[in-house]
Amino acid sequence: MLETKVKRYQYGNPFQTDAVVIKLPIYHEPLQKLSHENGNFIYKLEKGAAVYGLGESVRGINKRGWFYTSFCTDDDMHTENKHALYGSHNFLICNESQPFGIFIDYPGKVHFDIGYTDLDTLMIEPEMMNLDLYLIEGQNVLEIIQTFRTLIGQSYIPPKWAFGYQQSRWSYETADEIREVAYHFKKHEIPLDSIYLDIDYMQNLKDFTVDPHKFPDFENLVAELKEEGIHLIPIIDAGVKAEAGYEIYEEGIKNGYFIKNEDGTPFEAAVWPGKVHFPDFLNKETRTWFGMKYKTLIDKGIEGFWNDMNEPSIFYTPNAMKQAMDSVLENKEKNIDLGLFFGIKDQFSNILNKPEYFKEMYHDTDQGFVCHHEVHNLYGYNMTRAAAEAFDVIKEERMLLFSRASSTGMHRFSGIWTGDNRSWWSHLLLNIKMMPSLNMCGYLYSGADIGGFSDNTTEDLLTRWLQFGIFTPLMRNHTAKYTRAQEPYRFKSMAVMRHFICLRYVLVNHLYSEYMKACLSNTLYFKALAFEYSDDISKEIEDQLLLGDGLMIAPIYEQNKTGRVVYFPEEMLCVRFTTEKTYQLELMKQGHHYVSMPIDQLVIFIRPNHLLILNDEAQNVSQLDNHQIEIIAHVQTTCEGRYYEDNGLVKNPKLEDGLSQININIENNEVGTQWQKSKNSQLNHVTYTVYDAKQNEIFIHTENL
């Protein structure tokens, strides 16, 4: 089936990345679609055709007009002059009269010049010609995406509680500080499902340790919070502190589990704890060893982790530091003039994440002894895979897991967050634009640091970001050391922020249902309007998104705005939540409309013949009452909805087992509904608010199932 739509071309001797799950035979006819010159693949783009994809990258949904580099990079300035961020997702679609997709399965550096050198030319430049190129055909963008996602395998499914609100900062330093955060959320009745532990929970920044002075009763703390429905989520970093007597270091050295220098000795670099070694995650034995270390914390009650600094991020190597220090000392007595001053300064500012480091590192894999630079993008992926494969052995239930670095393939094992953004309005917009591209590449469980990581947030930015965050599967507020505190209870407008966090819970069953449908059928949770509508205006809209089957959102991402112009490609029903318990309905005609969006209101649009499912709010996901829901239906003719429900923890769930089917129609002013409940459904009471778009009338209807 897939073979009729996908052709696999092979060049040289590719390193097996495990990006795809369906092994297609190699197609031996010459590649005709693209020309192949001087190690580049070149394609003449149709005038005005959009190019979508590349997952986590800067700029817009339509990638045309810039060049992007696929090479996982720890760069905390996500500005539009950059080329690479933390992930490498080499899939793109040229949306032309005959649309097609390209996936470059190659673990090293690839440049994608998408109309940068010449607006009408797409040029793909892999550093080496050892790769598989997949050409994917289909009627439209959505079909091509579904085919690609089938090829790379089903996306990661987190536990349902991971759809609750999550609070983080670098760092809540002690058990008491964690308790204080939980206390404030409870006191102010702000729902909460997780609190994060950043690096300072560790003993001297050593992975899988807990500082006994700051967290003297760690297991009790985990249990105590769990009683309140709150999960503690510790961070794990890629670098293992080089310290005699530290178990992980000793075992790693003894068994040769660390990345090596070319001569076989362990490669040494420095990150947070000073000198570290990096586990060789491209080695299967190392993966099993490191993965099982997560058990230390799982045994203490932990049910989720975030993997960080796994591009890998390198502050310096001992050699680079020595060179920099020597140059300072050499010049100590000199008159430090312009040239010398900037030379010395650069020695230090360029020491962080020097690309040369990756050329000194080697992996011992079952495909040979390979230089890290050539397989760089697989590192964070395999760190995270190590954890996920161990979880499969250790736990019966799903675990929460997300990573900073990623590449195609890792989406089966975890989600991602989009790294160190800033408390900038432009980064809220970047967050909005990045979501459909991430989804295309298999990353459904994702989100940005709400409120912004670096720099000081502002009350209105955080509020607007929470409004958008309501819809991202990962809804986590996180910020850096030394920045303004951004827990919602710190602000004068706490009630407004609480209102939005409560709304996340009112919508959580709907969002979870859309997430599961997207995961289990390899479709999108977030779509650009252009993926569904072919009119000229929709094609260019990048600040409104479609969510799942039936919703559209149009977030505010600018300071001091109380409304915005929204484009409606078709008639939609506007649902305006004024408080979490009440809402107003208004029909929006096709076309452009200014929609008022005061900072304390949330607006969602329902497409024709679709519905929105609400449940009662709860203080965390485990307290949700799944027996009753309210459905707002926008009926033009017949409305058909599919609602997915499971216990939120079962591994390998099946779509067929969790789907309920709802049909709503209106005839002669009578609302007719039909339910086909899935066998595990807990639902027994439904209230319908049905908007009859033809008559402009609202019907209320209740039903016991």
What is the C-alpha separation between 101 and 136, in angstroms, rounded? Answer: 5
CB of 401 to ligand GLC, least distance (A): 15
> Which residue has tokens 């967290």?
215
CA dist 36 → 41, 68, 69, 126 (Å): 5, 19, 19, 12
Q: What is the 3-state secondary structure (H, E, C) of 552-569?
A: EECCCCCCCCCEEEEEEC
The residue from 311, 460, 487, 514 that is catalytic is 311
Nearer to ligand GLC, 170 or 215 (CB): 170
406 within 8 A of 377, measured Cβ to Cβ: no
| Closest CB to ligand GLC among residues 481, 589 | 481
Tokens at residue 391, please? 């979880």
Say whether residue 236 binds ligand GLC (CB under 6 A). no
Quote the least distance from Cβ 240 to ligand GLC, whole Å.
Answer: 15
- Structural contact between residues 390 and 382, judged by C-beta atoms closer than 8 angstroms: no
Question: How many Cα atoms are found within 13 Å in the side-chain-facing hemisphere of 205?
Answer: 17
- DSSP letter string, 17-77: ----SS-PPBP-SPP-SSEEETTEEEEEPPTT-EEEE-SS-SS-SB-TTEEEEES----S-
Which listed residue (157, 199, 416, 574) binds ligand GLC by CB under 6 A?
199
CA–CA gap between residue 423 and residue 549 (Å, rounded): 31
DSSP H or E run through 134:
strand 131-137
Residue nearer to ligand GLC on the CB measure, 267 or 453: 453
Give the x-and-dash track for 460-489 against ligand GLC (CB under 6 A): ------------------x-----------
Count residues contacting ligand GLC (CB under 6 A)? Answer: 9
CB-based contact 507:515 (threshold 8 Å): no
Residue 410 interacts with ligand GLC (CB under 6 A): yes or no = no
| CB nearer to ligand GLC: pick between 482 and 594 | 482
Instruction: Return d(Cα 196, Cα 473) in angstroms, integer.
Output: 17
Question: What is the chain's length?
Answer: 705
Which amino acid is it at 685? H
Q: Considering the rule CB under 6 A, would residue 235 count as an interface residue with ligand GLC?
A: yes
Q: Which residue in 674, 618, 621 sits closest to 647, CA to CA?
A: 621
* Cα gap 70→467, rounded to integer Å: 31
Q: Which of 404, 411, 422, 504 binds ligand GLC (CB under 6 A)?
A: 404
State the minimum distance, in angstroms, from the CB of residue 308 to ligand GLC.
5
Quote the tokens at residue 543: 């600040």
Least distance (Å) between residue 247 CB and ligand GLC:
22
Residue 80: active-site member: no
Residue nearest to ligand GLC (CB): 170
- Give residues 153-172 in contact with ligand GLC (rule: CB under 6 A): 170
Which H or E run contains 221? helix 218-227
CB of 509 to ligand GLC, least distance (A): 29
Q: Given the complex with ligand GLC, which of 478 and 607 has the nearer CB atom?
A: 478
Which residue of 56, 132, 308, 460 would you call a contact of ligand GLC, by CB under 6 A?
Answer: 308
Alpha helices of 83-199 — where are they, by DSSP H? 141-152, 175-187
CB of 235 to ligand GLC, least distance (A): 6
Strands 526-528 and 449-450: unpaired
- For residues 236 and 441, which CB has a smaller minimum distance to ligand GLC in the complex? 236
Q: Between 105 and 420, name the residue whose CB sits nearer to ligand GLC.
A: 420
User: Which of positions 417-456 make contact with ligand GLC (CB under 6 A)?
Assistant: 419-420
Measured from the CB atom, is 271 or 693 closer to ligand GLC? 271
* Of residues 523-542, those binding ligand GLC (CB under 6 A): none
Q: What are phi and psi of 477, to 5 degrees?
A: -90, 120
CA-closest candidate to residue 177, choices 131, 209, 225, 137? 225
Q: How far apart are CA 337 and CA 313, in angstroms?
A: 32
Phi, psi of 635 (to 5 degrees): -100, 120
- Binder among 198, 459, 460, 646 for ligand GLC (CB under 6 A): 198
Q: CA-to-CA distance for 392 and 386, rounded, in angstroms? A: 10
Tell me how far, at minimum, the Cβ of 198 lies from ligand GLC, in Å.
5
Q: Which of 280, 308, 514, 617 is catalytic?
A: 308
Residue 194 bridge partners (DSSP): 166, 231
| Least CB distance to ligand GLC at residue 677 (A) | 42
Query: Among 113, 132, 198, 420, which one carries the catalytic annotation?
Result: 420
CA angle (197, 349, 404) in 5-degree steps: 30
Instruction: Rank residues 200 and 549 by Cβ distance to ligand GLC and give the closer one.
Output: 200
Active site residue 392: no
Nearest to 288 by CA among 394, 447, 373: 394
Check residue 610 for interaction with ligand GLC (CB under 6 A). Answer: no
Asked whether position 646 contacts ligand GLC by CB under 6 A, the answer is: no
Q: Does 376 bind ligand GLC (CB under 6 A)?
A: no
Q: What 3-state class would DSSP assign to 271?
A: strand
Q: Is 624 in the site for ligand GLC (CB under 6 A)?
A: no
**Helix or strand or coil: residue 353?**
coil
Instruction: Verify whether residue 120 is a known catalytic residue.
Output: no
- From the CB of 440, what's the least distance to ligand GLC, in Å? 23
75 counts as binding ligand GLC under rule CB under 6 A? no
Cis preceding-peptide flag for 159 (omega within 30 of 0): no
Please state the closest distance from residue 272 (CB atom) to ligand GLC, in A: 7
Q: Which is nearer to ligand GLC, 103 or 201 (CB)?
A: 201
Longest dimension (CA), the chain: 94
Nearest by Cα to 292 from 279, 309, 310, 278: 279
What is the nearest approach in angstroms of ligand GLC to the Cβ of residue 535? 40
Between 15 and 294, whose beta carbon lies closer to ligand GLC?
Answer: 294
- Residues labelled as active-site residues: 308, 311, 420
Question: Where on the chain is the footprint of ligand GLC (CB under 6 A)?
Answer: 170, 198-199, 235, 308, 404, 419-420, 478
